[in-house]
Amino acid sequence: MRKAPLSILVSALVVIAATAPVAAQDEAQLKYYTTFRTYDIAGVRMPPLTNEVRNVIFLIGDGMGLEQVSCAWTLNHGKLNLDNMPFTGISRTYSTSDLITDSAAGGTALAVGEKTANSHVGCTPSAQPLYSMLDKARRLGKKTGVVVTCHMADATPADFCCHDDDRYHYDAIIADYADCGVDYIAGGGRDYFGPKREDGRNIVEEMKAKGYNYATDEEELMSAPLPVLGLLADDNLPIAAERGDLFRNMTSRALELLSAAAGNNGFVMMIEGSCIDDWLHANDIGKAMEELLDFDRTLGDVLQWAAADGHTLVVVTADHATGALTLQDGNLKEGRIGVAFGNDGHNGIAVPVYAWGPGSYAFTGIRENAAWSALISSFIK
C-alpha cells in the first residue's frame, strides 16, 4: 500500500482534533425525556390468516419513523402494541416532485394508491381528482370512517376525503367534506367549517342538512348515531397529556357504530395519530412521544376489537419521518431516552409498515408508499 503524503496525514489529524469535542457538545445538546404514563400492551390472539377480510383499519402515525417508534418502545420499558404485528415491510415515501415528501403527497399516496406532487391533496400533479380507498369502500356499500387528532383541514384526513392542488386552500378542502359521504368523521377543526371561512358558508349546517349528526364534545359524540360529524375542538385536539382517553374513545365509538351498521358487508376506517408530526417539527420530544404512545394505546384497543371480530385487517404505517431524530442515550429499565434532532422538517428515510390479521401475510418486503395503499385496497371487496 502506498503511504499517504505527510501533508494529508497532518490535515487528517487537524480535522480529527477539530472535531473531537463535538461528541461532548452533542451530549450537552441531547434532549432527555422520561414518561411515567407507561402501560401494558394488549393481549390478543390473531385469527387465522385465511379468514375472509371484511373490515380494513388503516392507522397512520404522522411523522412516525422507526427511530420515533424505538424511542416510544424504550419509554414504555420495551413493549408496544406495535409488537403484536407479525408482518412488517418498508415504505419509500418520495413524491413525484420531491425526494422529501410533504404530508399532502405522502398521505395521498397512502389514501389512493398513486403518488402525487408535494402540496397536492387527493389529486394528481395536474390537479385531476384521485379517489381514496374510502371512496372504493363506499361504492361497494361498506361503511367508512376517519378519526384524527388534528383539524380536518390538515393534509392526511383531507387526502382521504377531499381534492385540491394546494393543501392550504382550507375553504375549498373543507367544502369537499360535505360531499365525501364518509359515515363517521371525528377530529378537530370547528373554525374551518364556519367561523374562519372567507366565503361565508357554514359547512356544518350544510352537512346537518344532509343528515349528519353533529357533535362538539366527547359526550355528544358518544351518543350520536350515524352519520356523524364530530368536531371536538376549534383547531387540533388538546395535546395527548391533556386529552385523557379522548382519542381512544373516538376510535372505540367508530368501531361500535361502523361495525353495527355494516354487518358482514364490512367497513373501512383511517385513524391518524396526527400530532406526532407537529411536535417533532417543534423538536419537542416529550409531547411527540406522548402523542405516539397515545397512538399505540389506541392501536391496542383496535387490536383487541379486531381479535374478537376475526375478519379485520389492521395496517399501520407513516406518511414520512420527521425531525431527523436519533436515539443516542437512555435507559430501558428506567424508561428514559436522550435524543438529538437533525432538523425541524421531514426526511427521506423509508418508514416501517406493520400488518395484523387476515391477509397480513402479504405485507412484507420493500414497496413504494402507493403500492402499499394499492395492496390494502385489494382487500376491500
Residues annotated as part of the active site: 103
Show the cell assigned to 217.
364534545
Alpha-carbon distance 140 to 18, whole Å?
Answer: 64
> CA 311, 246, 233: angle at the middle one, nearest 5?
120
DSSP 81: G
CA within 13 Å, CB half, 165: 6
Nearest to 46 by CA among 326, 303, 336, 350: 303
Residue 227: is the preceding peptide bond cis (ω within 30°)? yes
Alpha-carbon distance 292 to 89, whole Å?
Answer: 20
Alpha-carbon distance 199 to 206, whole Å?
Answer: 14
Show the cell assigned to 133.
380507498
Q: How buried is 222 (Cβ within 10 angstroms: 0-12 exposed, 13-18 middle, 19+ buried)?
A: middle
Number of H helices, E strands in the chain: 15, 15
DSSP 271: E
Q: Which residues are 147's β-sheet partners?
A: 186, 271
Sign of CA dihedral 317, 323, 326, 329: negative
Rounded to the nearest 5°, which phi and psi values hold at 7?
-60, -35
